Structure 1
């Protein structure tokens, strides 16, 4: 594939970019997402042994007390084509939405996560000044028909429980529900039932393990994005990895049987 360029979205060009996205949704029915947030301030001593209910309690505690920083979005069709916006395949495009809600001077965060983001070019003062208010971002998500009952988008993520947790928080404009069951109903209401989490699906694919970059390397998926390790580039990598998994491991198997809840929320011990 040719190079993928990330379209950086701020408050000043939010409406223009969402108008463009809306025009593309009839052709591009898949959406891969990734988010950046200030890490985790609540932890479990046994993270790999949590039931779905216990995992949700931990997720809610973190999401309710932290703020979303960035959202990456990659649209693609069933054949893996990204929008080229009239360049005839010379360049493909994905999106990166920069939010203003997080204030490094007054909000909670995990220092190691903020240090990592800073080392990858995040300017938190710039975000606070020029970023998008999350409530406005949520309104545009709904108006674009990316989410909601009239949306036909199929969603792709990697270990995406927190991605969708933060998105549901801003879509509702309130803390997450107390019960996992109520959260799951909101998840289906906003994002539908065709939600594919690579972290879940790779359990049914021999030889795949680790994080997104490790899985991509194992599958020989090459990044075509110039600026790695941010939400936009990660969403592109998730889209390519998902397609390669589908083409290698699900030619004669139905991948939709693994659609549904994100990893961590899809089982009960």
Structure 2
């Protein structure tokens, strides 16, 4: 029978509870199925910019898989560190692909003039912020496995999460400005059906972004409250405010998968978006 044990050679406990076997197995299966489905769509449509998103799914599987392994080794650092890092860092990889989807959607819809920042620059800025968040959180996660650096590790994770929240805040504002301007002017070359498809893509970005923001706010509150507070001491909160939300992000991304987000190559070429077409601006000119 698994027992809660202190770190080998100390009286410090890495875990505040024995991880649930059933919950970990359920989410390994859930994330496994949705990750395979997303990889299938990615390879089928050659949407290589979605690779970071797929990597995020793999990290979720790794994280919850190692919770199963850690259940009988609550006194070992390595299982704890791997599961914590996988679950903590996976949303950063989701965010990287989400940022790239916005830039590609703007270019594919011919809406560069309605974007707050040029699409190529917005992708670079948001992804750079994402990488910075990843580095800070990863450093904090490494510190967390050392009992002597718990406070520093928690502070670094909080800082990385704040960076992610700030970047996501700007991203949502930028998306909203682009969305508002496009709805007002309808952009070049967008017919009724094409506009509906473009709007669905932006709505997908909203939905995924909001879920990741809620999860990040939860994580910030969790670490600010401390390791002995209710949130870090009760496992159900992580599953409700992290696992469920991140699986929701992956499910939404799969349903509204951003295939075909490439701008027209010439005046007479149309854009294939999920089996439908957006006609290029110049192709519609009389």
Q: Quick check: TM above 0.5? A: no
TM-score (norm 2): 0.28
Normalising by structure 1, we get a TM-score of 0.29
Which structure shows the higher strand fraction?
Answer: 1
Higher helix share: 2
**Who wins on radius of gyration, i.e. which is larger?**
2
